[in-house]
């Protein structure tokens, strides 16, 4: 079940000055960005780089929060990826089938408003409670596998296997497609800097969805694709590009993100026996613990692309440059979170930005939280004692979505 492709960060020139020449693909940033953020917050809270088309990197909670709410100056319709080539918004659409982009995430109002409304009911607490049954059964099967072998990869063989199947279940995609979908989503997000792989991922997803949509047009099913095909806006069907874009988004937004959060949490529990034993002994801490894992290891960095030159916080931002929505660094800001670099399982005040903020705040957060909680509960109930086989064997992927890709563990 292990994915065949390992993460290869793009080869970049070494960074000598993080304030004026940062690179989020630098191996140091991918594996351990926390000290870099601390230094920048103190010396240059809005860093700049000319790399990857030019971008700005806020590191303070207040700044990330303010930019996320300022949709006039920082729209999403002009590009949301952290590197130039992956944008799937209308301006750079790789296919007429994605002419509407991947709404709502790549859209500004009014397209954003009504497409978000279409997706929210599918992610409501009541619907998510229905998906929990499937998720729990799936996690049990995966834990059985690890137990049978006495060891396994908590990232590749556990975390990575969960969200793709849950989203497949919601969209009506067969489980046999899971490995292929995982590869396509990695092509689009992790390998966004590699035009060949990105093309492979986008083409794979579009071609698959084209077939799936045609099947449901011929014979409706009880799934989200069919729901969207029957949805209307202003009395008209929503149109194929919107159906295609929204389904592609759910696949892309729901897989790598949640898998990264589950993976980081498993890594933390393997590497921090005190926290693991406390969570096993005090399962009532689960709700605050889940929020704390989301805060401490927030996986997603989105971008906004400037439409025109703008002076912001004294920074001369240029049209076409990006601002990286550094939700992960905001979550480590000690101004907002006392002892920000420590995982505190019962942290009470925790208004973290792992799911973003403002109108684009994650529409799948109920689902993501459920998957993370069930994954941890099912693992800990059967494998309360486990440890890293070798900390040096743990690998991380970064860029738009950061998380561990390999966490070999041994059951004790």
**Residue number of the CB atom closest to ligand HEM:** 364
Stretch that binds ligand HEM, among 10-18, 285-293, 352-360, 388-396 (CB under 6 A): 352-360
Give CA–CA dist 36/39, Å, rounded.
5
Per CB under 6 A, 364 contacts ligand HEM: yes
Per CB under 6 A, 367 contacts ligand HEM: yes
Sign of CA pseudo-dihedral 189, 190, 196, 201: negative
Chosen residue from 261, 264, 331, 400 binding ligand HEM by CB under 6 A: 261
Which residues are CB-contacts of 123 (< 8 A; sequence separation ≥ 6)?
Answer: 363, 364, 365, 366, 367
Give CA–CA dist 284/281, Å, rounded.
9
Q: How far is CA 144 from CA 38, 140, 213, 264, 322, in A?
A: 41, 6, 35, 21, 45
Which residues in 207-246 contact ligand HEM (CB under 6 A)? none
Chosen residue from 83, 247, 290, 302 binding ligand HEM by CB under 6 A: 302
Give CA–CA dist 371/159, Å, rounded.
10
Q: How many residues bind ligand HEM (CB under 6 A)?
A: 29
Chosen residue from 36, 40, 80, 142 binding ligand HEM by CB under 6 A: 80
- Name the helix (H) or strand (E) containing 322: strand 322-325
Q: How far is the CB of 150 from ligand HEM (least distance, A)?
A: 29
Q: How far is the CB of 280 from ligand HEM (least distance, A)?
A: 22
Say if residues 248 and 201 touch (Cβ distance below 8 Å). Answer: no
Which residues in 101-120 contact ligand HEM (CB under 6 A)? 104-105, 116, 119
Per CB under 6 A, 325 contacts ligand HEM: yes
Per CB under 6 A, 362 contacts ligand HEM: yes
Residues composing the chain: 412
Residue of 238, 375, 328 lying closest to 41 (CA atoms): 328
Which residues in 172-191 contact ligand HEM (CB under 6 A)? none
Say if residues 122 and 170 touch (Cβ distance below 8 Å). Answer: yes
HSE-CB at 110 with a 13 A cutoff on CA atoms is 2
Give CA–CA dist 161/126, Å, rounded.
24
Collapsed DSSP state (helix, strand, coil) of residue 104? coil
Instruction: Output 15 or 123, the one with its CB closest to ligand HEM.
Output: 123
Per CB under 6 A, 249 contacts ligand HEM: yes
Q: How far is the CB of 128 from ligand HEM (least distance, A)?
A: 10
Give CA–CA dist 153/263, Å, rounded.
10
Chosen residue from 22, 131, 327, 386 binding ligand HEM by CB under 6 A: 327
Instruction: Output 202 or 362, the one with its CB closest to ligand HEM.
Output: 362
Cα 308–310–316 angle (5° rounding)?
125
Q: How far is the CB of 160 from ligand HEM (least distance, A)?
A: 13
Chosen residue from 41, 197, 322, 360 binding ligand HEM by CB under 6 A: 360
Per CB under 6 A, 368 contacts ligand HEM: yes
Chosen residue from 58, 101, 245, 254 binding ligand HEM by CB under 6 A: 254
Chosen residue from 49, 59, 257, 406 binding ligand HEM by CB under 6 A: 257
- Name the helix (H) or strand (E) containing 237: strand 236-237
Q: What does the radius of gyration of the chain's CA atoms come to, in whole angstroms?
A: 20
Q: How far is the CB of 86 from ligand HEM (least distance, A)?
A: 13
Per CB under 6 A, 171 contacts ligand HEM: no
Q: How far is the CB of 353 from ligand HEM (least distance, A)?
A: 7
Task: State the DSSP code for 24.
Answer: T
Which residues are CB-contacts of 214 (< 8 A; sequence separation ≥ 6)?
Answer: none
Chosen residue from 30, 67, 247, 250 binding ligand HEM by CB under 6 A: 250
Give CA–CA dist 72/78, Å, rounded.
12
List residues binding ligand HEM (CB under 6 A).
68, 76, 80, 104-105, 116, 119, 167, 249-250, 253-254, 257-258, 261, 299-300, 302, 325, 327, 354-356, 360, 362-364, 367-368
């Amino acid at each position: 079940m292990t994915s065949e492709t390992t993460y290869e960060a793009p080869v970049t020139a070494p960074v000598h000055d993080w304030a004026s020449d940062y690179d989020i693909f630098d191996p140091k940033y991918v594996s351990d960005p926390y000290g870099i953020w601390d230094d920048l917050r103190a010396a240059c809270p809005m860093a700049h780089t000319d790399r990857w088309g030019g971008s700005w990197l806020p590191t303070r909670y207040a700044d990330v929060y303010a930019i996320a709410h300022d949709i006039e100056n920082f729209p999403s319709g002009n590009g949301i990826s952290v590197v130039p080539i992956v944008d799937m918004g209308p301006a750079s659409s790789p296919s007429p089938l994605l002419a509407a982009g991947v709404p709502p995430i790549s859209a500004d109002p009014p397209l954003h408003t009504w497409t978000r409304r279409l997706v929210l009911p599918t992610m409501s607490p009541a619907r998510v409670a229905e998906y929990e049954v499937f998720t729990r059964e799936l996690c049990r099967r995966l834990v059985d596998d690890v137990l049978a072998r006495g060891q396994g990869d908590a990232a590749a063989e556990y975390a990575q296997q969960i969200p793709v199947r849950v989203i497949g279940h919601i969209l009506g995609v067969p489980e046999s497609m899971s490995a292929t979908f995982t590869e396509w989503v990695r092509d689009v997000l992790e390998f966004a800097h590699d035009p060949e792989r990105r093309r492979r991922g986008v083409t794979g997803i579009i071609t698959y969805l084209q077939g799936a949509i045609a099947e449901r047009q011929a014979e409706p099913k009880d799934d989200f694709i069919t729901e969207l095909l029957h949805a209307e806006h202003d009395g008209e069907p929503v149109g194929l590009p919107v159906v295609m874009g929204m389904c592609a988004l759910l696949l892309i937004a729901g897989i790598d993100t949640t898998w990264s959060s589950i993976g980081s949490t498993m890594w933390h529990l393997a590497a921090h026996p005190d926290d693991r034993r406390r969570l096993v002994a005090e399962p009532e801490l689960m709700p605050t613990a889940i929020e704390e894992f989301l805060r401490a290891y927030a996986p997603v960095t989105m971008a906004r692309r400037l439409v025109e030159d703008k002076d912001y916080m004294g920074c001369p931002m240029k049209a076409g440059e990006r601002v990286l929505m550094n939700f992960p660094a905001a979550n480590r800001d000690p101004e907002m979170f006392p002892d920000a670099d420590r995982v505190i399982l019962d942290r009470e005040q925790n208004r973290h930005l792992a799911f973003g903020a403002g109108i684009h705040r994650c529409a799948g957060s109920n689902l993501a939280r459920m998957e993370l909680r069930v994954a941890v509960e099912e693992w800990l109930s059967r494998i309360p004692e486990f440890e890293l086989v070798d900390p040096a064997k743990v690998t991380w992927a970064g860029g738009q979505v950061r998380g561990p890709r390999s966490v070999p563990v041994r059951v004790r």
